[in-house]
Amino acid sequence: MMNKVLEGIQDAIILSKNSIIANRLLNAQELTFIRSLLIEEGVNSDLPDEALQHVTPKFAVNKELLLYILHVPRLFSKTVPIIQVYPLAHKNQIIFGYPEFFIKDGSTLYTTNHPDEFVQKLTYLEKIQDTCIYPLIFGTQSRCNATFFNDTTQMLISEKALLIQNSWNGMLQTNCGPDNRTLSGNFVIEFINCSITFNNQTYQNEEITRESNIIYGAFHNFNANWTYKQRLDISSINNETLGNRKKLDHVFLEQYHLKLQIWTVIGGLSVTYIIILFIVLAVAKILLDHRGSGRSELHEGAVTKQPGPAIFEQLEELNRQQQQLATALETLREG
């Protein structure tokens, strides 16, 4: 029994040199307690053994005791992004002497030698504030050293993205789209459920199935002022032009019809005025003739001649002519 305990302590000491915990020295309650401490710090794990990956073992010895110490990490900040840098050739020049992975925490930038670890320990990190990468990441003016580079390279930067840089009329063959194309420059090509071939190398990814999360009531009390941009193409412009032309033709017809009506009214009024003028002149002439012939002549102070019956016949004839003219005028107006 004592030999097994000593063997377990010996194994734990050897494993601690490589920062590995010996499970045989811990019971189930201690493992569960370590896991709960890590969950409180934001490090989730499904099994207690997974939680031990984030714990560092140490030994301490005095005259009477041998202490097995487990250092449970404490998170000082929230989750931060890890940035991977891919330099691109520009005018046959490329930067060099840079770290590949960075951790961005606010306005602070770190390099890490364990980018795959979820918990970044202080021993992994190194603060950096140079004159090249730091200004480039934060969008300020930078001063970088570059070297000559004119090779064409391609690199798969994710399962569905290919980085092509410094291409000179390179042929990209793919079954993702309708045709192949020639590339010149730097490109990031994304492809899903298909394959691409560039520079005699073929890249393909496995089938990806995505499920959309349905959010009910996402537009609750939605009120927005939209500004729509009209999509212009040849067919829509042609249809709009034909529609405007029909509207203009309709306006021209309306104006012509209005002018025709005005001209008809003016023409009708002119004919009416001419007929009335002739009637007035005829009546005036008859009246003047009547006044000249029907007046009595005075000879030696006495009336010697009375109006004859001819004047009455002339008046009747005048009335008859007026009725005929009125009938003709009414006929012209109705026509």
How far is residue 72's CA from residue 63's CA, in Å, rounded to a whole number?
26
| Cβ–Cβ under 8 Å, residues 172 and 182 | yes
Task: List the one residue out of 278, 275, 274 whose CA is nearest residue 286.
Answer: 278
Give the pLDDT score at 247. Answer: 74
How far is residue 254's CA from residue 258's CA, in Å, rounded to a whole number?
6
Write down the residue that tokens 């306006």 correspond to.
Answer: 251
- Each of the 335 residues of the chain gets a pLDDT tens digit; together they read 566 666 767 677 776 666 677 666 777 787 788 788 877 776 777 776 777 777 777 777 777 777 777 777 777 666 788 888 888 888 888 888 888 899 988 889 999 988 888 778 778 889 988 888 888 888 888 888 888 888 888 988 888 888 998 888 889 998 887 778 898 888 888 888 888 899 889 988 765 555 656 555 444 444 445 554 555 667 767 777 777 777 776 666 666 566 655 555 555 555 566 677 677 777 777 777 655 554 444 444 444 455 555 666 766 777 777 777 667 667 666 65
Give the pLDDT score at 228. Answer: 47
- Cβ-Cβ contacts under 8 Å for 60 (sequence gap 6 or more): 66, 67, 69
Q: What global pTM score does this model have? A: 0.44
How far is residue 193's CA from residue 174's CA, in Å, rounded to a whole number?
11
| Residues β-bridged to residue 46 | none
Write out the two tokens for 293: 């012939």
Task: List the one residue out of 156, 167, 154 whose CA is nearest residue 191.
Answer: 156
Give the pLDDT score at 111. Answer: 92
Give the pLDDT score at 254. Answer: 62
Give the pLDDT score at 301. Answer: 47
- Cβ-Cβ contacts under 8 Å for 128 (sequence gap 6 or more): 99, 102, 109, 110, 111, 134
Could you tell me how many helices (H) and strands (E) the chain has, helices first?
A: 6, 15
Buried b (16+ CB within 10 A) or exposed e, 279-301: beeeeeebeeebeeeeeeeeeee
